Amino acid sequence: MYERAMTFGELVSEYGLSRSEGLVLRYLSDAWRTLRHTVPEHRRTPELEDLVEWLGEVIRQTDSSLLDEWEALVDPDPEVTVRPGQTSDAPRPITTNERAFGVLVRNAMWARLELAARDDAEGLAALERRVAELSDPPTEVERDAVSWGEDLDDYYDEHDSMRIDADARSPRNLQIERGDRVWRLRQVVLDPEGHHDWAIEARVDLAASDAAGAAVVVGTGLRRLDATP
């Protein structure tokens, strides 16, 4: 779920868990509480903190009452009226949790890089269809398998492979141009020769992300960095 940048709904659909999704959500909330409150401070790496923030936000966007109940028990607030068994107000906009939203964006771009490294144009097109369905109503898919296939052919005419090791996953390879409504993304591809002259590009619609409760990342292509979009 984390590696593939899946929403809770996509997880349930992928593995046919509709009859037990409540149980799965409770399991995830238990995992979140365990990670948040029992891991010793000296073991809490930035990567773990990112995962905890991401998991907490996934749960909150699915059913915020689960976290509200737990947080009310840990830190009671007389102004909070949510009680066990009640449903709280709608979850906060997902973009307000900058750390968790950043993880969602990075994972979405990494998922595209892994598919590109496998020369999987059909997989990239399927991912774009998933993103299009997050909107209400669903939007048109901008790039199909043919478009992605042409980009991949151009890349592999110059390089034999794409790196997907720890260095390739480093946040420094993801360039983000933040706007008020849209973020522009560029995931730099590490090639075997070390030229780093290609990137997967995408955009994030912030309003659509808040409405969907997930990062709406739309891939716009795999391009040479000196190429004009």
Does the pLDDT of residue 77 top 80, yes or no? no
Q: Which bin fits 84, alpha (ψ -120 to 50), beta or left (φ > 0)? A: beta
Where are the strands (E) in the chain, listed by range?
174-178, 182-189, 198-205, 217-224
SS (H, E, C) 147-176: HHHHHHHHHHHHCCCCCCCHHHHCHHHEEE
**Per-residue model confidence as pLDDT tens digits over 81-130:** 433 344 445 678 999 988 899 999 999 999 999 999 999 999 999 999 99
Structure confidence at residue 78 (pLDDT): 45
**Per-residue model confidence as pLDDT tens digits over 159-200:** 999 999 999 999 999 999 999 999 999 999 999 999 999 999
- Distance (Å, whole) CA 199 – CA 161: 13
Distant-in-sequence, close-in-space partners of 186: CB < 8 Å, separation ≥ 6: 174, 175, 177, 199, 200, 201
> Helices 98-117 & 121-134, crossing angle to 10 degrees?
150
Q: Which of 229, 181, 228 is nearest to 204 (CA)?
A: 181
Q: Cβ–Cβ contacts within 10 Å for residue 79, how many?
A: 4
Does the pLDDT of residue 80 top 50, yes or no? no
Q: Which of 96, 6, 95, 23 is nearest to 66 (CA)?
A: 23
Structure confidence at residue 101 (pLDDT): 93
- At 207, list the tokens: 């309003």
**Per-residue model confidence as pLDDT tens digits over 18-58:** 888 888 888 888 888 888 889 898 888 888 888 888 888 88
Q: Which of 11, 103, 112 is nearest to 51 (CA)?
A: 103
Q: Cβ–Cβ contacts within 10 Å for residue 126, how many?
A: 13
Report which listed range, 55-64, 69-78, 108-117, is most confident. Answer: 108-117
This prediction's pTM: 0.75
Cβ neighbourhood burial of 117 (10 Å; 0-12, 13-18, 19+): middle
Determine contact, residues 59/71, Cβ cutoff 8 Å: no
Does the pLDDT of residue 79 top 50, yes or no? no
Structure confidence at residue 193 (pLDDT): 94
